[in-house]
Structure 1
């Protein structure tokens, strides 16, 4: 069986799950739902594309990849904690201090009280 064909079979379900999540987010904010499914399809496509780019980047720059996923809305904080823990464990053995520092920075911003923590880089004197 071709693995690509099995991936394609799951893609509509993934689109539906993302669309349902977006609908839920709009409802929580008290916003009316979009009049067509085009919004959900476009949003799901953007999330999936961002997720794909981030996963490709995960091997070369995991800190940037995780940040891309968070900003795109492709990951919830609980998912991010798991990914960050896995990446920090992997990097602990690699000795790459620059990547370790970047992941630690993301961890600090994750616990910041506002989403702005991801949009503004911490300035160090």
Structure 2
């Protein structure tokens, strides 16, 4: 765990964002564990407000769900799901797993649900020159 790592970094970023809405305080003092605990308490305390009022609550839910799954896998020793490259019709390669609920293509902006992602063709593998 580091200050800018995949757990503390995003949690404190959300706490800073919510602070701009007058709903949180950021505490960057103490150990990394104390900072994580503070950020989690702050975000949980304001979760009902965010669910109703925050314009990016869906993004918050996705990010915190990812953090939870990463921590759970780390503790349990579970291996990460295998990533499979699929091809969007625009030519962009999307990396998905069997668990991916959906994603948006960064090139053309097309939103895919799980079943649509699973219907996309596999992307061609490129050999390093």
Q: If you compute each CA radius of gyration, which structure gives the higher value, 1 or 2? A: 2
Higher helix share: 1
Q: Same fold (TM over 0.5)?
A: no
Which TM-score applies when normalising by structure 1? 0.31
